[in-house]
Amino acid sequence: MNAKRLVFLLGLAGFIVMADNWVVSPILPAIAQSLHVQAASAGILIAAYMLPFGLFQLVYGPLADRLGKFRVISVTLALFTVATGLCGFGLGLADLAAYRALTGLFAAATMPISLALIGDVVPLEERQTAIGTFMGISFLGQALSMGIGGTIAYLVNWRGVFIAYAALAALITAILMTAGRRVAGQASQRGGGPVLAPYVKLLGHLPSLATYLVVLGEGVLVLGSFSYLGANIAQAFHFNYLGIGLIMTAFGVGAVLAGRVSGAAAERVGRKRLVAGGLLLGAVADLLVAGFSASLALTILGVFLLGLGFMLAHSTLLTLATEFARQARGVAMSMVTFCFMVGGAIGTGLGARLIAAQGYQAFFVLYGVLLLGLGMAGLVAINEELGQRKAAPAAD
């Protein structure tokens, strides 16, 4: 019960971090207008966040293995809260970009180190359900972020968005540090040793490398698809930010549902088949969005299936990764998150060019077909024994 409570609290931390991750996009025009700059120039705020967010994934893994995972999560979440609050008081583009960079730097720790901590405190037979629950709560924040941010910006202003997020983050930090410390402190492992060596071993171990490549492809295609769902909905139905946010909530609902059933599904069909099935659902989702863009019901179904398929596949890949390096789980999970986020950046960038040249329909068709291919590749590439105790991780 204590471990389940900790998973829920970590999920709340993931919720606010993932919500903050996506909140700038819907309020970017309001920020640009307030600071008297062009919206294209204000786009530096997104880059300023994503660069340290991606790079510091690789820093926090070894740091957490040395100092303790719960300590790193608690401290960085507190600093994330401060940085988010500072964003609400930015006077110009330069200082606001600096505050967003700090926010991204501290936000980078929450997802990978939380997953590593779950690997420490939850037995393997229950771990995929725990990871699915954590990821479902976290990605609900991502799905709701556009609606929440747009609503607050509409009712107050863009500064109110950051202040509200900082207040929520402060509350979550306080609860986590008081209610979660005991169980995390009892079970969390600590390690040590060289910083780069675990990464070298992980990437030199063929089954681990194959899984990381699948995660990279998943980031390209799933996060890439998700990035443009809102814009496609806006173009097809001309909804405001609130309406788009409500529709995007279907992604979070699908993710939460998949998180609850992924553990039992993995036991029933096997992990590599569940990864392939989840990616296949993602392919169906993209093709629904592409082929039935005039149907609101089928578009919502597509958004839901993308969240459902993503979480079935991703929670399975994460569960496998928790066994890559049992004494250096922070490193193993940081690599997963790094691959996923780098893939998302690549998929979003390539998607922007494809949409500009061919439109949304061609984009979703191509990504849907590629997701189908990735699912088939996963059946060959993934070593299911990595998720069993009898497997001896090469990176230990």
Q: Residue ranges per domain, the chain? A: 2-387
As a whole number of angstroms, the distance between CA 327 and CA 243 comes to 46
CB within 8 Å of 130: residues ≥ 6 apart? 3, 4, 7, 118, 122, 263
At 45, which amino acid appears?
L
As a whole number of angstroms, the distance between CA 199 and CA 389 comes to 21
As a whole number of angstroms, the distance between CA 282 and CA 308 comes to 8
Is pLDDT at 163 greater than 90 in this prediction?
yes
Among the ranges given (1-15, 133-147, 304-318), the one the predictor scored with the smallest mean pLDDT: 133-147
pLDDT band at 198 (very low <50, low <70, confident <90, very high): low
Is pLDDT at 325 greater than 80 in this prediction?
no
Q: Identify which of 57, 132, 357, 336 has the alpha carbon closest to the alpha carbon of residue 219.
A: 336
As a whole number of angstroms, the distance between CA 96 and CA 44 comes to 10
pLDDT, greater one: 390 or 157: 157
Q: Encode pLDDT of 245-300 as tens digits.
A: 778 888 888 988 898 888 889 889 988 899 999 999 999 999 999 998 889 999 99
Is pLDDT at 392 greater than 50 in this prediction?
no
As a whole number of angstroms, the distance between CA 301 and CA 211 comes to 29
What pLDDT score was predicted for residue 394?
42
Q: What is the mean pLDDT of residues 214-228?
A: 90
Average pLDDT, the chain: 84
pLDDT band at 48 (very low <50, low <70, confident <90, very high): confident
Neighbours of 160 (CB within 10 A): 16
**Domain 2-387 in this protein, CATH class:** mainly alpha
pLDDT band at 190 (very low <50, low <70, confident <90, very high): low
As a whole number of angstroms, the distance between CA 304 and CA 136 comes to 12
pLDDT band at 241 (very low <50, low <70, confident <90, very high): low
Q: How far is CA 318 from the centre of its chain?
A: 12
Is pLDDT at 311 greater than 80 in this prediction?
yes
Among the ranges given (143-157, 158-172, 204-218), the one the predictor scored with the smallest mean pLDDT: 143-157
Is pLDDT at 388 greater than 70 in this prediction?
no
What pLDDT score was predicted for residue 244?
76
% of the chain with per-residue pLDDT over 90: 35
At 207, which amino acid appears?
P
Q: Which two tokens stand for residue 111?
A: 């997802």
Which DSSP letter does residue 221 get? I
Q: How far is CA 349 from the centre of its chain?
A: 17
Angle at 102 between CA 99 and CA 180, to 5 degrees: 120
As a whole number of angstroms, the distance between CA 233 and CA 249 comes to 13
Is pLDDT at 389 greater than 60 in this prediction?
no
What pLDDT score was predicted for residue 391?
40
pLDDT, greater one: 386 or 377: 377
pLDDT, greater one: 390 or 242: 242
End-to-end CA distance of the chain: 29
- SS3 for 342-384 is HHHHHHHHHHHHHHHHHCHHHHHHHHHHHHHHHHHHHHHHCCH
pLDDT, greater one: 37 or 43: 37
Q: What is the mean pLDDT of residues 17-44?
A: 78
Contact in structure between 281 and 255 (CB atoms under 8 Å): no
Contact in structure between 251 and 307 (CB atoms under 8 Å): yes
Q: What is the mean pLDDT of residues 197-224?
A: 84
Contact in structure between 223 and 347 (CB atoms under 8 Å): yes
What pLDDT score was predicted for residue 72?
92
Dihedral angle, C-alpha 77, 79, 85, 90, nearest 10 °: -140
pLDDT band at 326 (very low <50, low <70, confident <90, very high): low
Q: Which two tokens stand for residue 164?
A: 């509200």
As a whole number of angstroms, the distance between CA 135 and CA 218 comes to 15
